[in-house]
Structure 1
Amino acid sequence: MYPVETQSEQFFSLIDRAKFTEFGLKYNFASITTIKEFQERVPVVTYEEHYPWIERVMRGEKNILWPSEINWFSKSSGTTNSRSKFIPVSEESLEECNYRGGKDMLTLYFDNKIDSQLFDGKSISIGGSLHPNPFNTPAMTGDISAIITRNMPKWAEMFRIPPPEIALLERWEDKMERMIEICSKENVTGIAGVPTWTVVLIESIVERMGAKNALEVWPNFEVFFHGAVSFTPYRSLFRDRLFPSDKVNYFETYNASEGFFAIQDDFALQDQMLLMLDYGVFYEFLPVEEWEKEFPKALTLDEVELEKSYAMVISTNGGLWRYKIGDTVKFTSKYPFRIKITGRTKHFINAFGEELMVENADQALTVAAANAKVDLKEYTAGPVYMDSDSKGGHEWIIECSQLPENCDQFIEILDNKLREVNSDYDAKRQNDIALVKPKVHFVASGTFYTWMEKRGKLGGQHKVPRLSNSREYLEEILEIIK
């Protein structure tokens, strides 16, 4: 009811609890009386800049970033960095953020569907695995879903499958085989997970059971709680092929390695989520023009504007302070504050000034796939650099449920829609001034799975990087399909 005041309370609670940590003493949290003072005193940081502090916590030092003992570290999927990222997970962040988020997710879902029979069956949760902390073996690292699974409240375990000993298996192929065996025999009413790996599991179960779709296996299925990546490219695949029924619901969450941030609160507001303001997280937002500045000016909740992209900056009850999470969002409403994820600060193509964002790509591909009557499964794209003989452009690798009947028409629609939703791209495409029409490779089903397997990034919250300003991902996949 009082969002700005709630965020202010979260801020002062955080710095008060951390004022005697080494970080709090360095920046004299005890003397801070306003948010502005905090912003002037504490720098906005990337993971690499914050890592020296995190490493000390991982080595077992106490009272460094947060006063309570930290024995869990969430391992990032690392899609924007080849080096793994380890995020401290305190008891407070588990209880006040992750578990509260799970309870609120269910509450908001039941508020939208008062006749829900979700608890009449079981819900599938697809998670990662755990490993010893390389610096301090009593502590553990792993995907945030694995950490939550290991610490799951008893009441929640009653309604989920598979059991923890299977959910936490390290080898993805072994986990999948056991999950197929168990989940195909249960009355599954819901799934929570990343769309990428959920598709792999569902398609495997449908094939194993000789069914036409997942509803033949689970006739009482009613909801997919999804997150981590945009659902836009997957929506038709789920609604038309996997769960062909208007009775199946889709509910979005924003649950990252760093915390649980937002939840869809209305079935009608597709892709929009309510920003959760009392989870021990203080939010700031960087306008696009501030992203690359050495000393960026961040906005607080009361300063944001609608329909503008911002990079998220968070301070948390796990010991992250003015940390650039890497995600970009835009506000779709105020009072209440709802957001839509628009991409990643490092997931875009701007080799020629076109500033193509993931949101643009999702919109254009969804239209092209719908026109071609195919289901989009995965994609990635990057630049084709100019040389003395040719102009620049974009190269796409797209995996669909089947090859479009008219590939040229698909590309034409993709290009036209990108021009419609992105004026910078349109300007560069005028008369092929700087950009020529996109080059597209349509690849066989399973290509992206093979690529992710080669990278050691199967399962959990690992994500296919959608756009890149380099050709690294393109070249790796092109090598596979030669």
Structure 2
Amino acid sequence: MNMKIKSFLARPFASYIYKAIQKGMTTATADQEAIFKELLRVGSKTVFGTEHRLGEVKTYEEFVQAVPVRDYEQFSGYIQLIKEGRHNVLWKGQPIYFAKTSGTTSGIKYIPISKESISNHINTARNALLCYMASTGNTDFADGKMIFLSGSPELERVGGIPTGRLSGIVNHHVPGYLRTNQLPSYETNCIEDWETKLDKIVEETLLQDMRLISGIPPWVQMYFDRLTELKGMPIKDIFPNFSVLVHGGVNFEPYKNRLFDTIGKKVDTIETFPASEGFFAFQDSREEEGLLLNTNSGIFFEFIPASELGKENPRRLSLKDVTTGEHYALVVSNNAGLWAYSIGDMVRFTSVNPYRLVVTGRTKHFISAFGEHVIGEEVEYSLMKAAEEAGLHITEFTVAPMIQQEKGKSYHEWFVEFGNKPGDLAAFADKVDHNLREKNIYYDDLITGHILQPLKIRAIKKHGFIDYMKSVGKLGGQNKVPRLSNDRNLAVELEKYTE
């Protein structure tokens, strides 16, 4: 009985939380309205609030007038004031942490986390697991070991404020009853070099009863590869009780088949959508597509239609006005002092009752060298469909424009690392091109009108992407290869790793 005590105790708690979440689905827009009012109440007494006259804002329309959408660069002046020791800059008092995250354009970003906002990060992760327990009845994983592949929990101080990676900060708040189940050890988690860390993680987990594994898919795959190379058997034989894989950070589809192959059986997966700016959504259902938006957790959401991106004053919608099928840029205001902050992710709602969405790409990661506006979701779909039909495994890939007006027509160049290569690469590229044309009408028009020539694929050698990430010091943690670029910077680097 003692062994089973945790799963036994988890049941009533899971069911209680699950019911609360289901009730929350019906009150989403009212909850958003209440959060909006509370943010304004506290925010009006800050430096930011005074500058933007938040005390006078009563309606969402007035808020849109008062507070422009900003990205990190446009926000960094306020962050600088906090670093200099000022209080009540963006939110009352000072942040209790800075989450340090690598920006795609801005170098390191320091995202404030307040005493009010920390629970959003901790409780949402917990709720995702409890929802899964309640909806499937699988509580057994609570009796075994769990691993969270994450950044280092070591914190430094910036302007007197403890600062580190979000996953590391959250590590300090893991509830006591889970600590005994959690691997790797604190010491191992603090290792900065990913390869060294991975070897230690393998060593620490190899003989344990691992039941839940969590991390970004490409890094989970590396962990699994190390284990299978060492033991010469699939993961299901190394960890017979492994039953739940928690993932987030990148689209799962491109990694799914290979992960399940390495495991040797299908396991349940729970998808999450966490970021330093907030834990936005998580998978609450086995049946429905999309992740449940976290509408009652200190975050007020806004959405900018994709067609409005880049305009001086883009149209902004609150939750009640979104529709399914549209692509939106996600904008958040939260109880850590972010105000109309564009986080750089594109989403699409799969349902508005309740509000469920999928992440479709990054606002900066699309190719529109010729007005085609191809997004992450489209390239992933096009490649995966072709790979599945051909029985191929894709390890990793990225796409860049090849612009050569004087030498003939331009095209999209795809860098793909295959698990097993197609016999005829050109024929495979045609398939991918065909899928993309079906998915994106602008792209189709450009090919039909002979403005672009069909895409080309360059095969990357085994471990090429890992070697590239290592060469730029971005191996491990929360680092991801961008799916798309509008320039050739990444492409030029990857040329060194082609076959």
TM-score, scaled relative to structure 1: 0.95
Aligned to 2:448: 430
Q: 1:235 aligns with which of 233, 239, 256?
A: 256
Cα deviations by residue, 1:149-188 (Å, 9 ceiling, x for unpaired): 1332222322221122222322222211110101111111
- Matches of residues 36-435 of structure 1 in structure 2 within 5 Å? 36-78=61-103, 80-81=104-105, 83-95=107-119, 97-129=120-152, 135-136=158-159, 138-211=160-233, 213-239=234-260, 241-246=261-266, 248-270=267-289, 272-430=290-448, 433-435=450-452
**C-alpha distance after superposition, 1:82-128 (max 9, x if no partner):** 51222111222111x11110121012111231033111211110111
Does 2:486 match 1:469? yes
- In the alignment, which residue of structure 1 is the partner of 2:8? none
The alignment partner of 1:359 has SS state of helix
State the alpha-carbon separation in 1 of the partners of residues 85 and 476 from structure 2. Answer: 29
AA matched with 2:268: N
Q: In 2 relative to 1, CA 156–361 (structure 1 residues): closer, same or farther, beyond 3 Å?
A: same
Tell me which moved more, 356-365 or 202-211. Answer: 202-211
- 1:43 CA drift (Å): 1.0
Q: Which amino acid aligns with 1:413?
A: K
Distance (whole Å) between structure 2 residues aligned to residue 398 and residue 302 of structure 1: 40
Q: Which digits, 9 at most, give the CA deviation of each residue in 1:365-398, with x for residues without a partner?
A: 1112112212211111100103222101001111
Q: Give 3-state SS (helix, strand or coil) of 1:346's partner.
A: coil
Equivalence for 2:49: 24
Question: Normalising by structure 2, what TM-score?
Answer: 0.92
- Cα distance, 1:465 vs. partner? 0.5
Which amino acid is the alignment partner of residue 245 of structure 2? F
Q: 1:426 deviation in Å?
A: 0.9
Partner deviation per Cα, 1:230-270 (whole Å, 9 max, x = no partner): 0010111122x122324x11111100121100011111234
Structure-2 separation of matches of 1:155 and 1:15: 36
Query: Percent identity at matched positions?
Result: 35
- Aligned residues of 2:153 and 2:189 also touching (Cα < 8 A): no
Task: Give 1:133 shift.
Answer: 5.2
Distance in 1, Cα, partners of 2:182 & 2:156: 27
Matched letter for residue 214 of structure 1: I
SS in 2 for 1:76: strand
**C-alpha distance in structure 2 between counterparts of 1:223 and 1:139, whole Å:** 35
Q: Is the 8 A contact 1:100 1:279 kept in 2?
A: no
CA distance in 2, matches of 1:264, 1:187: 25
The amino acid of 2:30's aligned partner reads E
Cα drift, residue 60 of structure 1: 2.6
Higher mean C-alpha deviation, range 304-313 or range 287-296: 287-296
Amino acid paired to 1:38: F
Q: Secondary structure in 1 aligned to 2:345? A: strand
The aligned residue for residue 439 of structure 1 is 456
Q: Distance in 2 between matches of 1:112 and 1:103?
A: 14
Residues 131 and 182 of structure 1, relative CA distance in 2, 3 Å threshold: closer
What RMSD, in angstroms, separates the aligned Cα atoms of the two structures? 1.6
After TM superposition, give the deviation of residue 302 of structure 1 in Å. 0.8
In 2, Cα distance between equivalents of 1:376 and 1:57: 44
Task: Report the CA distance between 1:281 and its aligned residue.
Answer: 0.3
Gaps (5+ residues) in structure 2? 1-25
Separation (CA, whole Å) in 2 of partners of 1:36 and 1:349: 33
2:30 counterpart of 1:5 = yes
Q: Is the 8 A contact 2:132 2:138 kept in 1?
A: no
Distance in 1, matches of 2:365 and 2:300, equals 24
CA drift at 1:223: 1.1
Secondary structure of the residue aligned to 2:163 is: strand
Q: Is the 8 A contact 1:131 1:140 kept in 2?
A: no
SS of corresponding position for 1:382: strand
Structure 2 counterpart SS, 1:181:
helix
| Deviations 1:410-451, CA, capped at 9 Å, x for gaps | 2111111001111111111116x1111211111122111111
Query: Which consecutive residues of structure 1, in runs of 5 or more, have no partner in the other structure?
Result: none
Matched to 1:112, the amino acid is S
Please give the secondary structure, in 2, of the residue aligned with 1:388.
coil
Q: Is the 8 A contact 1:149 1:164 kept in 2?
A: no
CA distance in 2, matches of 1:276, 1:92: 15
Give the aligned residue type for 2:76: Y
Measured after TM superposition, the shift of residue 480 of structure 1 is 3.8
Contact 2:153 2:167 (8 Å CA) reproduced:
no
**Matched letter for residue 245 of structure 1:** K
Cα 1:389–1:444 shift into 2, 3 Å: closer
- Cα deviation, residue 33, structure 1: 1.4
Which 4+ runs in 1 deviate beyond 4 A? 130-135
Question: How far does residue 209 in structure 1 lie from its aligned partner after superposition?
Answer: 1.9
